[in-house]
Amino acid sequence: MILFENYRKEVVRMRPGPGGPRPPMGANPQPRPKNIKELPKYLVALLGGFFNRFFYILKLVWKTGRWIPFLLFFVALFRGVSPVIGSLISQRILNALQDVIRVGGLPEHNFWASGILYLLIALFVYRLLILVVNSISSALNRIAGEKIVNEVKVQIMEKSKEVDLSSYDNPAFYEKMENANQEAGHRPLSVLTETFGIISYLIEFISFLIILFTAPGLSLLTLIILLVSIPSAVTNFIFRRKNFGYMRWRSKERRQMHYFSNILVDKDLMKEIRLFDLADTFIARYKAVFAKYFKGLRKLIFEENVWHILFAVISGACNLFFYIIIAKQVFTGEIQIGDYTLYTGAIASVATCVSNLISASGNVYQGTLFIDNLISFMNEKPRIVPQIRPAREVAHGRLHTIEFKNVSFRYPGSHKDVIKNVSFTIEPGQTLALVGLNGAGKTTLIKLMTRLYDTTEGQILLDGVDIKEYDLKSLYRTFGIIFQDFGRYAATVEENIRFGSIHSDASFDAVKYASKQSAASEYIETLPDGYNTPLMRFFEHNGTELSIGQWQKLAIARAFYGDSDIMILDEPTASLDAIAEQNVFNQFDKLTHDKTTIFVSHRLSSATIADQIVVLENGELIEKGNHQELMALQGKYYNLFSTQSKRYIQPSAEEATI
């Protein structure tokens, strides 16, 4: 009752409240019992959750390698019976030697013929067998561990390609993903190893209990040993759950520590950190977060060990009492010295088994709690899926019409629309420019058009059909796109270009042609190994670091190589100078004469080539038309274009004086 009441108080203390720790977003902990009457129901729910998680782990390990559970089971059986066998052999040797001493010794030749020699050989074989089994088990455990970690990592990667892009905007999703990556790799094997360890301890425990129960005058003492172990077991489980709860509820602090520590070893950020002298700032923030995180963890560790020390003292006192009783039996001649070693060893083994059972059970329980992070991540359901079965296939190799019909969008968990009732149509083969200040919603429109996000309201039609009815892979192949934050891959130049259409088996000439269209070939031909040059210094010593402008040209080449029906360029030339940008757009205009094209550019001079310009402001469409029409309107576009053009037109000294 005292332990339960202390546990209940701790739960109340850690419940969300003003200034108190809060569980992470998306957490769904088991409701705690409010009183002792609810405890049985609570325990049933805990056991149900435990077995669900445990069988998930078993299924995962079985899929990785069916030999792994059998190996663990064999080792568990061996380790369970081997201590008992060793104790019995040692007992026989000591008792045999004591009998020889009683009769005053035997001639030397009788020793070689006596049973003592065979017992010693059996003891040697027993210890050698333990060494061999432990070595083989250790090697195979390492192999199994690597295979399981690989299996979990592959499952996480496979799942990540299915998860909606909007999930990455949710901190709770990041928490699941972080915990799955951090914990799930080593937990499955650890949980199974501990589980089969419990089998070993139970076999050893029961075997030594039988020995003690059959020993004269020790059956009652054996029951006392069992009773003393119960409070320790309860305490262990209570603190295992407390530790898990603390780790989970403090996930934000752990992510912060990870973030601050990684900043100072990020090669891309080090230049700015050094120049702005930010290192001490981030170190101080790391220390502050750690102090906050460690304060509660230290308290938990201290409390747990105080209880363990208390129960260890009680258990040690009981063992001392038992040893005295057994020694007295030897002193009075009731038992032999070998029996003394067997019984005292059995008591020590029972106590050790109880301790190991408690620890292993706690570790298994805690391990299954952590594996819940993986289960939660793997159960994340994608919502961006075709709305009809079978899904439609996009008719590739033709011009397309795109229509926005009263489209609105807000990010998950937000109540503010970032796109508000937008409607417009892009005709087949037309070039559309999206114009607006930062945050106007241009990139968001492109993400909606490509169905990386789903609209909150309204429809987007491709060739008159809602894009939600198309097969996603077929839809994605329709678009060749370069985002502002385009990918920079640690691979060769050729591979970086071919990533634009990874399933294409086009010749190397197509790669070179794409690089020429983006003007990337000019610098590629100067690289040490040309198109075979590895980029970024992550893996290769001869890796080449490109400038942001060079990367941008490579990204444009990737889009050209894809040869998609609809080309989308979201600020594709942001890092190029004005002349290089104009060259790219001139070439781009030639290459896309038979394609539907959408682009966003911060330099409005590029918009002059567009058939249609859509002007956005705060997520709303405020103007629509071509360059001449919008300039004649003298509205928002006119003001933006005129303001920007003045920066490039410097008046002469004579004009300046007029």
What is the Cα–Cα distance from 300 to 13, expressed in whole angstroms?
Answer: 13
- The reported pLDDT for the residue numbered 268 is 66
Chain centroid offset of residue 480 CA: 30
Burial category of 275 from C-beta neighbours within 10 Å (exposed 0-12, middle 13-18, buried 19 and up) = exposed
Q: What is the pLDDT of residue 471?
A: 92
Report which of 413, 412, 166, 376 is spatially closest to residue 251, judged by C-alpha positions: 376
- Cβ atoms 587, 422 nearer than 8 A: no
pLDDT in the model for residue 64: 81
Q: Please tell me the distance from the alpha carbon of residue 83 to that of residue 207, in angstroms, as a whole number.
A: 9
Strand partners, 614: 434, 624
Structure tokens at 13: 């203390």
- Separation CA 658–CA 655 (nearest Å): 5
| Tokens read off for 355 | 């301790």
Q: Is the pTM of this model over 0.85?
A: no
Q: How far is CA 325 from the centre of its chain?
A: 55
Sequence-distant (≥ 6) Cβ neighbours of residue 226 within 8 angstroms: 354
Cα-based angle 460, 466, 472 (whole degrees, multiple of 5):
100
**195 and 55 Cβ atoms separated by less than 8 Å:** no
What the chain holds in terms of domains, given with CATH numbers, is 50-378 (1.20.1560.10), 402-647 (3.40.50.300)
- DSSP readout, 129-193? HHHHHHHHHHHHHHHHHHHHHHHHHHHHHHHHTTS-GGGGG-HHHHHHHHHHHHHTTTHHHHHHH
In this predicted model, what pLDDT tens digit does every residue of 41-95 receive, in sequence order?
Answer: 766 776 777 777 778 888 888 888 888 888 888 888 888 888 888 888 888 888 8
Residue 457 confidence (pLDDT): 92
Buried b (16+ CB within 10 A) or exposed e, 465-503: eebbebbbeebebbbbbbbeebebeebbbbbbbbebbee
Q: What residues pair up with 569 in beta bridges, in sequence order?
A: 482, 599
CA–CA distance from 223 to each of 69, 213, 282, 334 (Å)?
A: 33, 9, 57, 22
Residues pairing with 623 in the sheet: 615
Residues of the chain where predicted confidence (pLDDT) is lower than 70: 1-35, 37-39, 42-43, 46, 102-114, 171, 174-175, 182-185, 217-219, 222, 226, 233, 267-268, 270-272, 274-276, 369-370, 572-593, 647-658
What lies within 8 Å, CB to CB, of 641 at 6+ separation is 604, 607, 630, 631
Distance CA(44)–CA(30), nearest Å, equals 11
∠ CA 322-328-329, rounded to 5°: 95
Other CB atoms within 10 A of residue 518 CB: 27
3-state secondary structure of 620: strand
**Is the CB of residue 434 less than 8 Å from the CB of residue 354?**
no
Which run of H or of E encompasses 282?
helix 279-331
Report the DSSP pairing between strands 419-426 and 402-409: antiparallel
Q: Which long-range contacts (CB under 8 A, 24 or more apart) does 51-60 make?
A: 53/368, 53/369, 53/371, 53/372, 53/375, 54/191, 54/195, 54/364, 54/368, 56/371, 56/375, 57/187, 57/188, 57/191, 57/192, 57/367, 57/368, 57/371, 58/192, 60/148, 60/151, 60/152, 60/188
- Determine contact, residues 615/436, Cβ cutoff 8 Å: yes
Task: State residue 393's pLDDT score.
Answer: 92
Q: Which of 515, 589, 597 is nearest to 564 (CA)?
A: 597
- The answer to whether 606 and 599 have CB atoms below 8 angstroms apart is yes
Do residues 60 and 152 make contact, with C-beta atoms less than 8 angstroms apart?
yes
Q: CA dist 599 to 72, 278, 485, Å?
A: 59, 37, 15
Token pair of 607 as six digits: 């918009």
Rounded CA gap, 30 and 41, in Å?
A: 11
- Separation of alpha carbons 68 and 195, rounded Å: 13
